[in-house]
Amino acid sequence: RYGLIEEENQIGAATGLAYTTAGGDILSIEVTHYPGKGNLKLTGKLGGVMQESAQAAFSYVRSRAEQLNIDSDFYEKYDIHIHVPAGATPKDGPSAGITIATALVSSLTGRAIRREVGMTGEITLRGRVLPIGGLKEKALSAHRAGLRTIILPEDNEKDIENIPESVREGLEFIPVKHLDEVLEIALVKEEE
């Protein structure tokens, strides 16, 4: 059902946490690629900041292709599409950065993403994870959707104490400083 967590681990789909004036929500970020000419397409009624955030995530992945086990000329052999349903809902902000990066790596490596993991954090070109807003509301929506693990920026660790204990008990919070840690947690191990 839409709005709940995935039924299986997915390749190319990561779960982000959004925060709007209407409260928190979970966001499924989808990435696909196919033979093409190196174009990047961004859809889902994304505002300018979120589009730039996706471009930063894309550049991070391109600059680290070799270490991530991605064929280094993928950028000229494939087109890549990043889409965020539902298509009629406006979305913006930088906090989906690490979620987009994770979905990109998953699509390009074929490694699945753990279905019970949600995440939030701005990404920089160096893979740094910067702080975000609305952690409490995001945690509430993660809890409602059935997630078990929340990856968050280390700079937001201090905000965990403001989350109601009933919510905190059902969720594991993992503060991170760099995208490498996010990928380590969110991607299914190849031997699994």
Q: 77 catalytic, yes or no?
A: no
51 binding Ca ion? (CB under 5 A): no
Site string (26-65) toward a second copy, x via CB under 8 A: --x-xxxxxxxxx--x-xxx--xx--xx-xx--xx-xx-x
* 20 interacts with, out of Ca ion, a second copy, none, CB within 5 to 8 A per kind: none
* 16 interacts with, out of a second copy, Ca ion, none, CB within 5 to 8 A per kind: none
Instruction: Pick one of 8, 76, 165, 169: the residue that binds a second copy (CB under 8 A).
Output: 76
CB 147 within 8 A of CB 174: no
Q: In this chain, which stretch among 25-33, 71-79, 146-154, 181-189 interacts with Ca ion, using CB under 5 A? A: 146-154
SS (H, E, C) the chain: CCCCCCCCCECCEEEEEEEECCEEEEEEEEEEEEECCCCEEEECCECHHHHHHHHHHHHHHHHCCCCCCCCCCHHHHEEEEEECCCCCCCECCCCCHHHHHHHHHHHHHCCCECCCEEECCEECCCCEEECCCCHHHHHHHHHHHCCCEEEEEHHHHHHHHHCCHHHHHCCEEEEECEHHHHHHHHECCCCC
Take residue 90 and report the two structure tokens written for it: 């406006």
Instruction: Pick one of 23, 69, 71, 73: the residue that binds a second copy (CB under 8 A).
Output: 73
Least distance from a second copy to the Cβ atom of residue 73, Å = 7
Instruction: Give me the residues that bind Ca ion (CB under 5 A), please.
Output: 93, 95, 149, 172
Instruction: Give me the residues that bind a second copy (CB under 8 A), please.
Output: 1-2, 10, 12-13, 28, 30-38, 41, 43-45, 48-49, 52-53, 55-56, 59-60, 62-63, 65, 72-73, 75-76, 79, 81, 83, 85-88, 93-94, 97, 122, 124-126, 128, 130-131, 155
